[in-house]
Amino acid sequence: MSKNRYYDPEFKAEAIRLVLEDGRAVREVERSLGITHGLLKGWVKARRCAATAPRGGQLTDSAPTAREKALERELARVSRERDILKKAVAIFSTEPNRYSGS
């Protein structure tokens, strides 16, 4: 009779990291961690599939990063400056009203 073992997400993530980032062999990591043959290979395959799967047109599910927020603020500032310059050009490019003196 086989007993199902539970592996917490942190354990799985660390095992996957050893394979993907450190470049260690799947079988080597399985032996060193005492994981059943083939189990880690499935975890790695699932991670790779999840990383490449499209997410409904969105690039990420996370909130905007600090850099993205800073870029949005800068874009808004530059857009305001551009609009002000457009108005200034429009004002100064028109000929002034000249009153004919008698």
Give 44-100 pLDDT, tens digit per residue. Answer: 999 988 888 776 655 555 678 889 999 999 999 999 999 999 988 888 887 666 665
Domain annotation covers residue 1: no
Q: What's the one-letter identity of residue 29?
A: V
User: Domain limits at 39?
Assistant: 7-53
Q: What's the one-letter identity of residue 10?
A: E
**Residue 12 exposed, middle or buried by CB count within 10 Å (0-12, 13-18, 19+):** middle
Q: Kindly report whether the global pTM for this prediction surpasses the value 0.85.
A: no
Answer yes or no: do 70 and 49 share one domain. no
As a whole number, mean pLDDT of residues 15-20 equals 91
Domain annotation covers residue 34: yes
Answer yes or no: do 71 and 46 share one domain. no
Structural domain total, the chain: 2
Domain annotation covers residue 59: no
Q: What's the one-letter identity of residue 47?
A: R
Which residue in the block uniquely carries the two structure tokens 């083939």?
38
